[in-house]
Amino acid sequence: MLATDLYDLRKTLMQSGVMFAYSGYMTEQVRLAVGETLKQKLSMEEADTKTVRSVFAVFVEQMQNVIRYSAERVPEEETPEVTELSFGILTIGKEGNEYVLLSGNLIRSEDTERVSEKLREIQGMNHDQLKRFYKDKLREGPDEYSQGAGIGFIEIARRASRPIEFDFAKVDDRHSFFALKANI
């Protein structure tokens, strides 16, 4: 049973083309370590330099997005000596010739409208508009949703070969699950 169950989980992932899957607490240390392994794996593939770097860039932004904004974190109360851990999921795989990166985390339900508004705006932009928006946002500085420059989503959209996809699923009274997909 033990091996069968675990093998089934692995099979489900592999059947959907997933080559990396991480579900759990994410930190910068995890991002850096997984990132190095991802780079190694990508360098063994036949993909061109630009694709490889774009996959890596999207991975970095998605992972940092979870680390910064996941609403599922321990400890729940801020304690100065303890580094917070954020929970999330991230997979990297292939669909045909394209790389696909999926990331997900809980967000507070009241934030869903703001996040989807932001993402819909990005979805509707072509490459040149995204370039301009990226620069404008860098100039503007952080907005109310972000600790960072709030341009992670724009960076993901710029690197993606088609419009990014996103979705929300209600989890409980206070939280929704946020999923983000980018193809490269």
Contact 106, 48 (CB under 8 A): no
162 binds another protein (CB under 8 A): no
Structure token pair of residue 135: 């620069």
56 binds another protein (CB under 8 A): yes
CB of 132 to another protein, least distance (A): 9
139 binds another protein (CB under 8 A): yes
Task: By CB under 8 A, name the one of 35, 98, 116, 118 that touches another protein.
Answer: 35
Q: Which is nearer to another protein, 106 or 184 (CB)?
A: 184
Residues 6+ apart with CB under 8 A from 94: 17, 19, 100
- Cα 115 to Cα 69: distance, rounded to the nearest angstrom: 11
Contact 178, 107 (CB under 8 A): yes
Question: Which residue, chain included where needed, has tokens 């929970």?
Answer: 87
99 binds another protein (CB under 8 A): no
CB of 113 to another protein, least distance (A): 23
Task: By CB under 8 A, name the one of 149, 163, 165, 179 that touches another protein.
Answer: 149
Task: By CB under 8 A, name the one of 38, 61, 88, 176 that touches another protein.
Answer: 61
- Choose the stretch contacting another protein; rule: CB under 8 A; options: 12-20, 53-61, 90-98, 167-175: 53-61
CA torsion sign for 31, 66, 142, 82 is negative
Contact 154, 133 (CB under 8 A): yes
- Cα 156 to Cα 163: distance, rounded to the nearest angstrom: 10
Structure token pair of residue 28: 């910068």
Task: By CB under 8 A, name the one of 50, 120, 162, 174 that touches another protein.
Answer: 50
* Residues at the contact surface with another protein, assessed by CB under 8 A: 28-29, 32, 35-36, 48-50, 53-54, 56-57, 60-61, 64, 131, 134-135, 138-139, 148-149, 151-152, 154-155, 158-159
